[in-house]
Every structure is written in structure tokens, then in C-alpha cells.
Chain A
């Protein structure tokens, strides 16, 4: 029987009832090689301090709840393994660029408002009745947007984006990727409505192509590409609008 391995986990704690500012606490957590950082946090909650607060649900990188800064890098804690950091200390903090609500839980309301604003649903090109049957879409049309449907709203890309940190009103990577997802859908006709936001002061031009959003995305959505492609779309829209008063965001 091998000796029980123990790792130090430093947690950024913040209890709004008693704390003026966040502070760090270090816990010595026994672990096995199959344990994720999320399980480490659960061990702390079960054995050391039941007040430790963090979001989690599926434990398999699909719900997007358990994002946190792990040694300064935004990651899903359920798919990050303690063994990869041992014997060094792991530091876990709430996701960057969001206000902390409590411990590792951030206030996502600004993200939700931005997401609602871009109308992340199909806006049909023309009214359609049940009798007309289903929409027909070719595999090539499907391939245009499928990548962006993988977004799980984990907001790791917001924590990765320095421009979100500098301008809290910037729509940000995931929201723009989802706007792009619907814009690229052959059934959708809402491009003009979404373009107003994409091309606005808080839209795509806040991006300076750092590219870290795409790097940290756990679902390979490549939100950075969606943002940058929409810089081209916004420029085209501007000049086509200039040429034809009806506008031409296609």
C-alpha cells in the first residue's frame, strides 16, 4: 500500500457577510490519482469547512458550472486533475473579470443580460405554419454553425479575455460566438437585428485578437474566430448600408 499523497490547495475565500475583501486559505487535501480539482474542493467542503461555496453539477465538462481560475488559468475544475499539479500547490480562485458573489461563485448577471440581448434563438426569415412542414437544411449548411452550438456558457473565455476586464460592457467571446451561431444558420433571418449590437461600441471591435479565449475554451468553439469574422461582417455591413439605404448585412 503506497503512502497517502497530500496536496496543498490554496482557496480564495470571500464571505460577503463578514469579509471586507477576499483572502486566501490553505487546505491540505489527501488525494488519489483519479481526483479532479472539483473533487478536491468537495473534499474541503465535506471535511474542513462546510461554508466553502462553489458551483458544480455534471462532473463531466458538459454543464459549464465549475469554471474557476486554477493557478491563474481559467479551467473547468471537473476535468482538471490534482495529479497534474502535485507536488506543487494548487491555487483556486473565482473566475477573473466577474464580481465575486461568495468564495468561488461569481455574479454572472452581466453575461446573462448580454446573452439575452443578442437573441440567441432562431428568428425565422418569414412566418411559417406547421402545415408547411419542417425546415430543410443541407449537411453543408449545418456544418456552417455546428461548431458554435458546442458552447456551454461556462464563461472561461470571459475570464481569459483582457478586453472584458478593461471594458465590462464588451459583449465578449461566448455571446458573440452564439450570435454568430444563429447568424450562420440557414433558417435564421435575424442578422440585421444582431448586427446593431455586434457593430456597436460594445461589440466586436473591442477585441484586439489576443486569442486566449479560444485557447481556454473546453469545447473547441473557437469564439475568437467568431469575433474576428464578425469584424469583417460589421465592416461589410457598414459599407453596404452606405451603398443601399436598406442595409445589406448578409
Chain B
């Protein structure tokens, strides 16, 4: 079974979308480091904020954004496979509607969060 995932484009895509989970974990570590720096006082926190503004950090965050967006895309795509079938008014909800609802919820939640952070920052 060595190298099984190279045999079929479907498996290759599976491995790609599963590996994007590492980027989600990496970003979680960045946030945890931020929390740690915050607990160490104002100077440490300001240092962390400065580090985030470096060109390298911006490039890394853009890579995170792309990888995590792709991870989210495949996550929602798998909803119809992993969720119990939903019956509404005696009819099974179409897979496309399930995926669309997931996306809508994610976009609304992201916008609300962005709005909140914006207000706090302002």
C-alpha cells in the first residue's frame, strides 16, 4: 500500500485537503503565542504586534489564509457525506443546499466577528 494515494487524482486531492489541516494547527499556535505574550505584559504584547507586521509574517499569513480557505471549502464539501440526511417537509435536503447553508453560516459568522473586532479597535 506504499504510495497508495498517488494512484488516483481523487486520493491526491484527499491528501492535499487533509494536509491543509496543518496550516489550521499552525495558525492556532500563532494565536496561542499571542495569548502567551499578552500574559507577559505590555512590552511583550507590543513586540508580538510588531512581529505580526513584518513582511515575512504577512506572507506567512497570506499562505495561511489560502490554505485555511481551501480547508474550509473541502470541509463544507464533505458535509453531505458525513452528516445524517436531513428531511424537511418529507423531502431530503439536497447536498447542494447543505453545502450552501454551511458556507452562508461561515460567511455570516466571519462578518459578525470582523464587525465586532472593528468596533473594538475603533
Contacts and interface: CB of A to CB of B under 8 A. Distances in A.
Contacts of A143: 87, 90, 92
Interface string A209-250: 111101100000010110011011000000000000000000
B5 interface: yes
B81 A225 contact: yes
Interface residues of A, number: 21
B78 A209 contact: yes
Contacts of B82: 209, 225, 228, 231
Contact of A140 (B10, B84, B90): B90
Nearest to A166: B1
Contacts of A120: none
B8 A209 contact: no
Contact of A73 (B1, B8, B14): B8
Nearest to A140: B90
B102 to A, nearest CB: 15
B1 to A, nearest CB: 5
A72 interface: yes
Given A140-B90, A166-B1, A72 B8 contact: yes
Interface of B: 1, 4-5, 7-8, 10-11, 14, 18, 78, 80-85, 87, 90, 92
In order of increasing CB-CB distance, the 4 nearest A-B pairs are A228-B82, A229-B84, A211-B81, A224-B81
22 contacts: A73-B8, A140-B90, A143-B87, A143-B92, A162-B5, A165-B1, A165-B4, A166-B4, A209-B82, A210-B10, A211-B14, A211-B78, A212-B8, A212-B14, A214-B81, A224-B81, A225-B80, A225-B81, A225-B82, A228-B83, A229-B85, A231-B82
